[in-house]
């Protein structure tokens, strides 16, 4: 009797062990993420874009003190010549560079008074680093390189992550009154141009104490 | 002699004899009426005979519409699908008959089926809404998300775009996420029931404007319209007016006329020999807030 019970217990334990080791549970989003990673790696694409396209192309950014008068004088032509976007519509992106003095440091941005263009201010975003400005501003990404919509959305998110980790730390010790030179991406609406509130997503920063 | 004359005629009037079908998911919704009518008008203005086919949100009727369009000799289809997966076979049928299909506003889940898909950039539009949402809530508070149809790609592209921003801020907590199928009345019911469990929420993000209107109505009935901020997506006329009247906070403006016109222009370019179309062409969605609402009208900008 005792032997029989022991035999049954051993059988049940073996069955439970086999069953436990035969079934695996994974989170659905983890499985989906693995499938996406197999087809397209947004992180490595963004890294490559940052190192091989964006960084070498920073010298081609248009100076803000030249861009603003051109936008005021001939907006349509200036948009045609200097702005880019992956899709169609009124939202277009420019890669700009500027120099000036930091006049305010707030929780979400730093305000820079632009040298050589009296009264013109640019806000450099320090908190809300989202959207497609840094991805699209140079016009170097071709939409046909992507098979699905989420891939190029993820590229934006990864480029923004690089900005948070590599660029924003340089602004940590900035103080009001410091000189600053920057390169950044801005979004402007072609139909309803608002040059009073320009916000740049920074891609390169140099603070002069 | 007759053959030669026919040949000459068809050669010289090549574009004028072509026909463009507009197959739309439903004509029982003003958004899709605008989309279909604009596509048909644009194709007509380019010199093509056009006809609108209503699929009544039914993939079986949609399949009949494709068969009829193919057998009636239409040369291109401007298409608003009823179902991202269920519509793929219809597009492939047209493709195998040599007819290009240009999707408008809604996509099909196939990279190769349609010649091009012209779609609202739902994700980026909701990134902009998410940013404004976080700013207006000072990165703190409890909120609810009301989703559209769970089987629709647009529902998730919008939700993902929104969450790509708000999830970044630990002070923002989502206490409920429920579907109301893009329907105003359902959204009102969903909001009423959520308010029972979570009377202390600060904001609601809705996947379209019809649901935003329904949610707002529920908040008015509960006496909480001034305390809870409502955000929508679409750019419907009644929500634009609600933003002007300081009721709803913001919406994402889509441009159905731009998508429809682009699809018709692509068909025209296809007839003229162009083949290298982008597989997916996003159309920018613009953030409409109380600060810039006077620049906009329903489904577009003020001219």
Q: To probe the interface with A, which of B104, B117, B127 has the most A CB atoms within 10 Å? A: B127
Q: By CA distance, what is B109's nearest residue in A? A: A148
pLDDT for B2: 36
Residue A170's region, left for phi above 0, alpha for psi from -120 to 50, else beta, is alpha
DSSP structural state of residue A191: S
B85 CA: distance to closest CA in chain A (Å): 15
Burial of A14 (0-12, 13-18, 19+ CB in 10 A): exposed
Class of residue A209 by CB neighbours under 10 A (exposed 0-12, middle 13-18, buried 19+): exposed
Does the pLDDT value for residue B14 go beyond 80?
A: no
**Residues of A whose CB is below 8 A from B263:** none
Average pLDDT over residues A59-71: 96
- Decide if pLDDT at B287 tops 80: yes
* Shortest CA gap A153–chain B (Å): 7
pLDDT at B169: 97
Q: In the predicted model, is pLDDT for residue B273 greater than 60?
A: yes
pLDDT tens-digit series, residues B138-189: 999 999 999 998 877 889 999 999 999 999 999 999 999 999 998 999 999 9
Name the closest residue on chain B to residue A158, using Cα atoms: B164
Answer yes or no: do A88 and B283 touch at CB < 8 A: yes
Give the nearest partner residue to B131 out of A89, A130, A157, using CB atoms.
A130
- Taking contacts as CB-CB distances below 8 angstroms, the residues of chain B near A153 are 123-124, 157, 160-161, 164
CA dist., res. B239 & res. B216, Å (int): 10
Confidence of residue A204 (pLDDT cuts 50, 70, 90): very high
Give B135's contacts in chain A (Cβ within 8 Å).
108, 128
CA A187 distance to own-chain centroid: 13
CB contacts under 8 A, B 99-158 vs A, are: 107, 111, 119, 121, 123-124, 127-128, 130-131, 134-135, 157
Best of A134, A149, A155 to substitute, by most chain B Cβ atoms within 10 angstroms, is A149
Domains and CATH numbers, chain A: 40-208 (2.40.50.420)
Q: How far is B113 from chain A (nearest CA, A)?
A: 13
Q: What's the complex ipTM?
A: 0.84
The more confident residue out of A105 and A22 is: A105
B79 touches chain A (CB under 8 A): no
Distance, CA of B274 to CA of B128 (rounded, Å): 34
Q: Is pLDDT above 60 for B248? A: yes
Q: What is the pLDDT of residues A5-60, one digit of tens each?
A: 888 888 888 888 777 776 666 655 555 555 544 578 999 999 999 999 999 999 99
pTM score, whole prediction: 0.83
Residue given tokens 């006077």 in the structure block? B294
User: For residue B302, what pLDDT is reported?
Assistant: 58
Q: Which of A140-144, B7-11, B254-258 has the highest mean pLDDT?
A: B254-258
Which pLDDT score, from 0 to 100, does residue B153 have? 80
The pLDDT of residue B211 is above 50: yes
Which chain B residue is nearest to residue A87, measuring alpha carbons?
B282
pLDDT at B57 over 60: yes
Q: What is the mean pLDDT of chain B?
A: 92
Which residue did the predictor score with more confidence, A104 or A20?
Answer: A104
Q: Kind of pairing, strands B229-231 and B300-301? A: unpaired
Task: State the Cα–Cα distance between residues B194 and B222, nearest whole angstrom.
Answer: 12
Interface of B with A in 235-294 (CB under 8 A): 255, 258, 262, 276, 278-286, 292
**Residue bearing tokens 């989502």:** B174
CA distances from A81 to A62, A92, A186 (A): 11, 11, 15
Residue corresponding to tokens 């010549």: A81
Q: How high is the mean pLDDT of chain A?
A: 89
Q: Give B291's pLDDT tier (boundaries 50, 70, 90).
A: very high
CB A192 to CB B301 under 8 A? yes
């Amino acid at each position: 009797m005792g032997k029989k019970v022991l035999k049954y217990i051993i059988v049940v334990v073996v069955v439970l062990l086999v069953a436990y080791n035969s079934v695996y549970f994974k989170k659905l989003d983890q499985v989906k993420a693995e499938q996406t990673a197999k087809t397209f790696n947004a992180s490595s694409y963004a890294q490559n874009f940052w190192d091989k396209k964006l960084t070498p192309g920073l010298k081609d950014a248009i100076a803000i003190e030249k861009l603003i008068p051109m936008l005021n004088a001939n907006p349509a032509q200036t948009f045609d010549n200097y702005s880019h976007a992956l899709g169609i519509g009124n939202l277009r992106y420019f890669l700009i560079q500027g120099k000036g003095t930091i006049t305010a440091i707030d929780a979400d941005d730093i305000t820079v008074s632009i040298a050589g263009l009296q009264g013109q201010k640019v806000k450099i975003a320090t908190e809300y680093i989202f959207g497609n400005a840094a991805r699209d501003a140079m016009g170097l990404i071709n939409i046909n390189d992507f098979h699905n919509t989420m891939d190029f959305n993820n590229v934006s998110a990864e480029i923004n992550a690089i900005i948070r980790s590599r660029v924003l730390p340089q602004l940590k010790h900035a103080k009001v009154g410091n000189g600053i030179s920057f390169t950044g991406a801005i979004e402007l609406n072609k139909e309803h141009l608002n040059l009073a509130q320009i916000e740049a997503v920074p891609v390169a920063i140099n603070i002069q104490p | 002699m007759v053959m030669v004359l026919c040949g000459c005629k068809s050669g010289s009037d090549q574009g004028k004899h072509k026909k463009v079908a507009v197959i739309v998911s439903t004509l029982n919704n003003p958004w899709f009426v605008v989309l279909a009518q604009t596509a048909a008008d644009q194709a007509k203005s380019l010199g093509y005979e056009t006809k609108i086919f209503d699929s009544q949100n039914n993939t079986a009727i949609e399949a009949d519409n494709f068969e009829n369009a193919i057998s009636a000799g239409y040369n291109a289809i401007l298409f608003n699908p009823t179902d991202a997966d269920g519509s793929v076979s219809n597009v492939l049928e047209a493709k195998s008959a040599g007819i290009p299909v240009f999707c408008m506003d809604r996509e099909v889940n196939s990279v190769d089926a349609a010649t091009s898909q012209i779609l609202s950039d739902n994700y980026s539009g909701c990134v902009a809404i998410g940013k404004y949402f976080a700013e207006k809530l000072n990165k703190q508070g409890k909120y609810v998300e009301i989703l559209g149809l769970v089987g629709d790609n647009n529902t998730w592209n919008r939700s993902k775009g929104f969450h790509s921003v708000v999830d970044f801020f630990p002070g923002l907590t989502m206490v409920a996420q429920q579907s109301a199928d893009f329907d105003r009345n359902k959204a009102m019911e969903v909001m009423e029931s959520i308010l029972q469990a979570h009377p202390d929420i600060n904001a609601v993000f809705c996947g379209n404007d019809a649901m935003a209107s329904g949610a707002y109505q529920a908040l008015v009935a509960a006496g909480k319209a001034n305390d809870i901020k409502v955000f929508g997506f679409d750019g419907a006329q009644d929500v634009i007016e609600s933003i002007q009247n300081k009721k709803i906070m913001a919406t994402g403006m889509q441009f159905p006329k731009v998508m429809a016109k682009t699809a018709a222009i692509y068909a025209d370019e296809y007839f003229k020999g162009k083949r290298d179309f982008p597989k997916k062409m996003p159309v920018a969605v613009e953030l409409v807030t109380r600060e810039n609402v006077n620049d906009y009208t329903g489904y577009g900008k003020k001219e």
